[in-house]
Structure 1
Amino acid sequence: MDGKDWASYIEATNGLSKPWLLIQWRLQLLQEQRSELAPETYAAELAALHQALMDLGEWWQGQEEAVFGAGESSSGEA
């Protein structure tokens, strides 16, 4: 997927409220610009994206079903 495809997907799925999708989109845009950027700039931008991803932390805990979709519980609970 290119950056435009990511943007269309995010828009179609109401993904603006899903920060992990926005980070993936930003990563795609950065990859598309890589040949135009100095190696130091690319590395700094990549590090910033990594930090943004790490800052999300364990935001999904307690809302796994809502975030990742319905599925069977791995703990065997009904």
Structure 2
Amino acid sequence: MNSNEIAQYIEATNGMAKPWLLLQLRLQKLQERRDSIPADEYANELADIHQSLMNLGEWWIGMEDQVF
């Protein structure tokens, strides 16, 4: 999926309240720009996305039936 398709999916499924989907969108957008940005900028943005993912923690606890 490209970033436009991911964004459409997020909108269609009311996924704005699901931060893990927004992280997937950020990651895809970064991947699409990878060849047009310096390597250090790519690494910094990737590290920021990774930190955001780690900040989510174990978000699925108690919602396993709904998300898996």
TM-score exceeds 0.5:
yes
Point out which structure has higher relative CO (alpha carbons under 8 A, 6+ apart): 2
Cα RMSD, aligned residues only: 0.8
Aligned twin of 1:13: 13
Q: Which amino acid aligns with 2:63?
A: Q
Structure 2 residue 48 is the aligned partner of structure 1 residue 53 = no
Q: Name the TM-score, length of structure 1 as normaliser.
A: 0.83
> Using the alignment, how far apart are the partners of 2:17 and 2:60 within structure 1?
13
Unaligned runs of 5+ in 1: 69-78
Structure 1 residue 62: deviation in Å?
Answer: 1.1
Q: Which amino acid aligns with 1:60?
A: W
- 4+ residue runs over 2 A deviation: none
> Using the alignment, how far apart are the partners of 2:50 and 2:60 within structure 1?
18
Secondary structure of 1:61's match? coil
Q: Which amino acid aligns with 1:59?
A: W
Aligned residues: 68
Aligned twin of 2:42: 42
> Using the alignment, how far apart are the partners of 1:40 and 1:15 within structure 2?
31
Structure 1 residue 32: deviation in Å?
Answer: 0.5
The structure where helix makes up a greater share of residues is 2
